[in-house]
Structure 1
């Protein structure tokens, strides 16, 4: 017996591979976007630090730029370095 496929509809979902479900700075879900963005996606990616904490790109950039001296991770207070 042979089966002929006439139509095929694929369904997929994605999630960020972060330890938390929300940004530690703005507390918005990673599946969404930061308060500065209107739509989730490439304009609002997640950025990881060397300490493995993740934040929206816009949130961590604002945080780093607002620090008067060495920028620290908002979660663990280690010196902030972008994960390479």
Structure 2
């Protein structure tokens, strides 16, 4: 008995490689997007600080704008600097 495949549809998944599963600010999984975005992926990227903590770009930008005196990591309170 032979089986002939008439069509095939490939499916792929992606996953951010981060030090945690959820954003420390919005608590949404990194596979999802932050509350400001509608779709995960390139429009809602992750960013790392020099302290190695990772957040959605929109979450950390809102957090930094809300800081009056010092811009600190919301997790460890070190001065926030984007990892290059």
- Mark yes or no: TM-score above 0.5: yes
Question: How well do the aligned residues superpose, as a CA RMSD in angstroms?
Answer: 1.5
CA drift of 1:65 comes to: 0.7
Q: State how 1:1-84 maps to structure 2 within 5 Å.
A: 9-84=9-84
Q: 2-side partners of 1:72 and 1:63: how far apart?
A: 9
CA drift of 1:17 comes to: 0.9
The number of equivalent residue pairs is 80
In the superposition, the TM-score normalised over structure 1's length comes to 0.86
Gaps of 5+ in 1: 1-5
Q: 1-side partners of 2:13 and 2:40: how far apart?
A: 14
Deviations 1:2-61 (A, max 9, x none): xxxx86654432211101100000000100000001111111000000001000000000
